[in-house]
Amino acid sequence: MTDKTGEGDSGDFLGDGESSEDQQHIPHPWPYLREMFEIAGSKKDSWRMYCKLCLPKRHEPLAFKNSPSNLKKHVKRKHRNQLERYTNLTSKRPAAPDEGLASKQPKLWETKRVSQASVDKVIMNFVIQGLHPLSVVEQQGFQALVLHLQPDVSVMSRGTVKNRVEKAALVMKNNLKAALGKIEFIATTTDCWTSHRRSFIGVTAHWLEPQTLQRQCAALACKQLKGPHTFSVLASALNEIHTEFNIREKITRTTTDNGSNFVKAFRVYGHVDENNNLAPTAESVKVDNDEEEEDEETENADVEFVEAGAILDEDDCLEYQLPKHHRCACHLLNLVSTVDVSEANISSTVYKRLSRSSFAKCTSLWNKSARSTMAAEVIEDECKLQLLRPNDTRWNSLFLAVERIIRISREQGEGAIAAVCSTLKIPMFSPVELAFLAEYVTMSPVAKALDLLQGESSVQMGWLVPTITLLKAKLQHLHISVKFCGPLVDALLSGLEKRFGQMLTDPELIAAAILVPKFKTCWTSNECILKLGLDYIKSHLKEQAVENQGETSHSSEEDDFFSAIKQTPRSQENAKQLETYLGCPGDAMGVLKSFPTVFNLSVRLNTPLPASAVCERLFSTAGLIFTPKRARVDSKNFENQLLLKLNGGFC
């Protein structure tokens, strides 16, 4: 018979078919209570324990397998004077392996309580990182989900989320300004983007972390542009963004595409030379000549009084200050591969006929696969792969699409392509055309150069000149082995010289390449090119030595005047550092830390990026927010959400 505490007689303690011999092998569930209770057996989810304090009588209270609370009740009722002893024994029990992490295992029906502030923070993160519209917080399904998980909290309204996004964006910008304030050299990329009848200008900032030399980046703005995108409008927008983040004097270069409005903006308002003069251009010379002619005509004219305000309002090219300009190398390569290669059709009628027939059949195949699901199924059944369709604005997409056709013909045989053409009733490729396309695919150095230069994390400006130099060498080597694409190679080489010729002889870009430990001077055998870069490096190291000496010593005006021709110990030390660096066998960027002056110059020259592809990636993310269903979103709200998404490390 069992009482309320689970005590019973000993006649049925061998429950569930257990024998007395089996009980001897059952471990004691609570060893620290062994001097008061011993195990007698088990029954379902309970232990039968016999009390040693009750001997010679035998009392066997039941205790749940997960708690000895019934044993405590037995001691409290039958042996009150032993209660303190029982308490001392339980206090000495060993801790469970994971008891320090959670003293009590939560029950299934128990809900973890969280604060309203933490729920609001998680909702904000969900909206920003998931690129969701702010109205998602007012959707019935979302509210039901949150309230089901946390019944005692409330869900923010759409207006509250918008206000919090504005405040978070302000905090993020302040943190970003503080981070940029500690950086000495910064580079930017910029581009324009149009979607749903609205235009935006995007700007990204890039720098090298001084300690680790790791590339860091941040999105500065994605502001709406109204009206025509003239060079002055772009210059005004860029100048405003640079001033907002206090980086105008720190920017070494700004990389843009080759749009005429960007080019003119930097030509008119861009970097000035040491004498504070703008770089001379054909337009500026023409304007100066026109002004001289007007002066001669009006030399003897009567004096005319004009308003001073009208003169002050005139654009004197000093209204905005823009940094040094760099044209996107990937855009230039794309122009070489799409525009300049048209010269091959002019120089060779055989190439023209063969290329046009081959690409016409490729285009038919691509169009058929894109417009018909039946055609796509046929291609996948015969070729085991789907075709890639080229993008009109990206030459490397054309290269990859042709490469896929050649891959299919090599892996599945030319019969697979022929079967597809026959089934889809489009012209079949001749063996010569397939051979031409296979040779066209050997132009892979151009595609690889594009992929290299549009990188971000591991690419510096110093990669530009070696990449183009080696690309030209690879194309010249291919010219020997090609049979059909000789005119194409000639056109590519001509286009590279036309669009990159000035960059390949720019002393600053050559110096940037030499100051990348990966390249140093091994990327070219042209001593004249290397001399341009080394002379640039030596002159700037000498200037650094003079500046450092001027900061530490005070000399007369006469000494300062002749300081440029003096060989100071610091300048000799800098020259020695350069020689040691060039002879150092290491090729990791960390090698530069052993040469402080060389390191500082390398960081300045290699902070910019050779391409503006990063800004295009910004617009790719922007397109996920600025969808057709959200085309009426406020431009400021849109920019805040985009910057918070991209600058999560500064929130």
The residue behind tokens 């309002």 is: 313
| CATH class of the domain defined by 115-279+317-326+612-651 | alpha beta
pLDDT exceeds 70 at position 398:
yes
**Which residue shows structure tokens 């082995």?**
481
Residue type, 87: T
For residue range 328-368, list pLDDT tens digits in order: 999 999 999 999 999 998 988 999 999 999 999 999 999 99
Q: Rounded distance, CA 578 to CA 599, Å?
A: 10
Q: What stretches of 228-314 adopt beta strand conformation (E)?
A: 251-256
> 583-636 pLDDT, tens per residue?
888 888 888 888 888 899 999 999 999 999 999 999 999 999 999 989 889 999
- Structure-derived torsion over alpha carbons of residues 549, 253, 322, 600, reported in degrees to the nearest 10: -20
Domain boundary assignment for the chain: 7-91, 115-279+317-326+612-651, 330-504, 511-606
Report the pLDDT value the prediction gives residue 205, as an integer from 0 to 100: 96
pTM for the model: 0.74
Q: Tell me the average pLDDT across 535-563.
A: 65
User: Could you report the per-residue pLDDT of 54-96, keeping only the tens digit for each?
Assistant: 888 888 888 887 788 888 888 888 888 888 888 888 876 665 5
For residue 202, which of 610, 638, 648, 651 has the smallest C-alpha distance? Answer: 638
Residue 5 has pLDDT above 50, yes or no: no
Asked if residue 605 lies in contact with residue 511, where contact means CB atoms within 8 angstroms, the answer is: yes
Task: Give pLDDT, residue 291.
Answer: 40
* Residues 448-492 pLDDT 10s: 999 999 888 889 999 999 999 999 999 999 988 888 999 999 999
Q: Does residue 536 have a pLDDT over 80?
A: yes
